[in-house]
Amino acid sequence: MNYIEVQNLVKSFKEKGRAITAVDNISFSVKKGEIFGLLGPNGAGKSTTINILTGLLEKDSGTIKVLGFEPEKNWEYVKNNSNVATAYSWLSDVLTIRQNLRVYAKLYGVKNCEHKINELLEMFELKNVADRKIIRLSSGENTRAVLCKGLINSPKVLFLDECTVGLDPDIADKTRGIIKDYQKKNDCTILFTSHYMYEVEELCDRIAFMSNGKIIRIDTSSNLKKLIKKHTVEIAVKKNIKLLREFLKTEGVDIVFEKDNSIVFEVTTEEDKMYKVISKIFHKGFMLSNLHVKGPTLDDIFIKIARQK
Amino acid sequence: MKLHRINALLLKYYYITINRVDRLFDIIYWPILDLFIWGFTALFIQKLSDVNVLSMLLGAVILWVFVWRASKDIAVFVLEDFWSRNLYHLFSSPVKLSEHLVSIIIIGFLRALTTFALMWIVGIVFYSFNILTISPLLIAFSVFLLTLFGWAIGLFVAAFIFRFGQRIQVLAWSVTFLISPFACIFYPLSVLPGWAAKIAIVIPPTHVFESFRAMISGTPVNQAGLIYSLISSILLFIVMAFFLEQSFRKSKKTGLLAKGD
């Protein structure tokens, strides 16, 4: 069953009398228990899509369904069973984290809310600052407080809009762990947006690339990566760098650059070309001091797709 | 409308009131300061006149609190959510605009009653003036009318905030001041020049303060004026609630609600 369905969604804004299309006829669906990533640069339309799905923004046209319902017709059910966390909007800054969570727990009708609040504070390592006002928190603590609020009602559908912005790598990693854990335990459906490709790759089952309000492509990260058939290889040799260069030229690979005793080149993975080239290098007796092979990243895919379009 | 959500928001506004010294301060500081200024002024004028100036001025100051509090609290509590960029979370939760407003109105009224109680005590202690001895029924009715009018003004300001964002926040503080010269709080309608009287006569609080003064001076209360004040305040409240609802919808279209600025 699809827990999120978006069909031909359009949203435009007026700016100085000019209509700017923020979301341009996009369609996608997210299955129950799936983590779906919306990936794209600033202004791609990711947040606008989430704002429409959470009822903060009115669409121009198209249809949306959350938990099987058109939200306009059943906001109460949809909102009670979903939640949102974003790094760009704070909780009430004159209240403490605990006070904010108490308010939101009551808004969502959470039973035994003190227990739930303590559990979340523990999970996000916020217990020692729980009674500190939001305005006195670091941006990382703020982001985690918002995430606590996002999970306060144990949502079936969770919208996470760039929710790890401002977190240090350690906390960001822990946060992704908590999200994955929560999703597994609760079979929660998550719509996740981020600038960070590695994060989307780690968390999401499928990814939609967005650019200029449009969805360019939807697929799994491994399928998307297959779109680029070139790998980057860095080889450092103890001697005979000139011979290696000559050899690579005869093999027809693209040399990206050469520095000191190392050469970086791109080679296709089609017909096992990359493996053949590397094994020939070994067979020719080059004394390697370093060998590093790097596959395409989602960034490379995104740039390729966006430029093609 | 769900009671548990109104309770949740009341809890939030209670927390704001106790966490922010300035929000606690404006329940006490300005009204009491006003009472002292007008109280001493009245004591001085009292010596020059046979009219019961002290009761008129102090009573007016105490009653005006309800307009001022009711309007300012709605606007400032709405602004509070803009300032902390909290509208996003508030309105992505199941909260409805009506629940948001009801909670603000309740907390605003409680704050107004607290201020009223303090001013009542200060009036008795420092000036031997007990507003409740005038006519409890008339005072209660006046409080109701003035609060209703204050809410209507508050809704009007909130509607503008939802339509244009924080940049028009100055309205939250200035609208009641703009109305006050025409509301005949401290002086009778008859002293106003023709053009000002034309404005004053349509403003609901004018009739409340005219009746209050009539009661103190022992002349008949203009009942028609009070009925006009009741009907016009109710109508104004309904129109402003509708205006706010429209502005809120507009903010969902323009994206102001999502951006919160």
Count of positions (residues) in chain B: 261
Question: What ipTM was estimated for this complex?
Answer: 0.85
Ordered domains of chain A (ranges, CATH): 2-225 (3.40.50.300), 230-308 (3.30.70.1150)
- Shortest distance, CA B125 to any CA of chain A (angstroms): 35
Query: Are B248 and B161 within 8 A, CB to CB?
Result: no
**A121, two tokens:** 């504070």
Note down the domain range covering B74.
3-259
- B258 closest CB neighbour out of A56, A90, A105: A56
The chain B residue lying nearest A61, using CA atoms, is B253
Burial class, A199, CB count within 10 angstroms (exposed 0-12 / middle 13-18 / buried 19+): buried
3-state secondary structure of A155: coil
pLDDT at A308: 64
Per-residue pLDDT of chain B (261 residues; tens, 9 = 90+): 899 999 999 999 999 988 887 777 778 888 888 888 888 888 888 887 777 888 889 999 999 989 988 898 888 888 888 888 788 999 999 999 999 999 999 998 898 889 889 999 999 999 989 998 888 899 999 999 999 999 999 999 999 999 988 888 888 778 888 999 999 999 999 999 999 999 999 999 999 999 999 998 889 999 999 999 999 999 999 999 999 999 999 999 999 888 866
- Shortest distance, CA B12 to any CA of chain A (angstroms): 6
pLDDT at B17: 86
> N- to C-terminal Cα distance for chain A?
32
Establish if B250 touches chain A: CB-CB under 8 angstroms: no
* Chain B hits for A104, Cβ within 8 Å: 8, 89, 93
Torsion angle (degrees, nearest 10) of CA B74, B66, B8, A143: 40
The β-bridge relationship of strands A61-66 and A189-194 is unpaired
Query: Are A134 and B84 within 8 A, CB to CB?
Result: yes
3-state secondary structure of A218: strand
Query: Are B58 and B35 within 8 A, CB to CB?
Result: yes
Establish if B15 touches chain A: CB-CB under 8 angstroms: yes
pLDDT digits (tens, 9 = 90+) for A17-67: 888 999 999 999 999 999 999 988 888 899 999 999 999 999 999 999 999
- pTM for the model stands at 0.85
Listed in sequence order, the DSSP H helices in chain B are 3-19, 21-46, 53-83, 87-92, 97-127, 136-164, 170-179, 194-202, 204-217, 223-254, 256-259
Query: Are A62 and A45 within 8 A, CB to CB?
Result: no
**pLDDT bucket at A292, cuts 50 / 70 / 90:** very high
The residues near A298 (Cβ < 8 Å, ≥ 6 apart) are A39, A197, A198, A200, A201, A207, A221, A224, A225
Would the CB atoms of A92 and B84 count as touching at under 8 Å?
yes
Q: Which amino acid is at A245?
A: R
pLDDT at B194: 92
Query: Are B185 and B205 within 8 A, CB to CB?
Result: yes
- Shortest distance, CA B104 to any CA of chain A (angstroms): 14
Half-sphere exposure of A187 (CA within 13 A, CB side): 6
pLDDT digits (tens, 9 = 90+) for A134-175: 999 988 899 899 999 999 999 999 999 988 887 888 888 888
Q: Is the pLDDT of residue A118 over 80?
A: yes
Q: Is the pLDDT of residue A309 over 60?
A: no
- E strands, chain A, are 2-15, 18-31, 35-39, 61-66, 82-86, 157-161, 189-194, 206-211, 214-219, 230-237, 254-259, 262-268, 288-294
- A92 closest CB neighbour out of B7, B86, B93: B86
pLDDT digits (tens, 9 = 90+) for A164-217: 887 888 888 888 999 999 999 999 999 999 878 888 888 999 999 898 899 988
Of A152, A167, A154, the closest CA to residue A87 belongs to: A167
* Chain B hits for A75, Cβ within 8 Å: 94
Establish if A203 touches chain B: CB-CB under 8 angstroms: no
Mutate one of A69, A106, A131, A142 to test the B interface: name it (highest B CB count within 10 A). Answer: A106
**B201, two tokens:** 């006569």
Alpha-carbon span B227 to A132, nearest angstrom: 50
Alpha-carbon span B13 to B17, nearest angstrom: 6
Radius of gyration of chain A (CA): 24
**pLDDT bucket at A221, cuts 50 / 70 / 90:** confident
pLDDT at B99: 95
- Count helices and strands (H / E) in chain A: 11, 13
pLDDT at B261: 63
**A187, two tokens:** 């079979």
Q: How many domains does chain B have?
A: 1
Would the CB atoms of A146 and B89 count as touching at under 8 Å?
yes
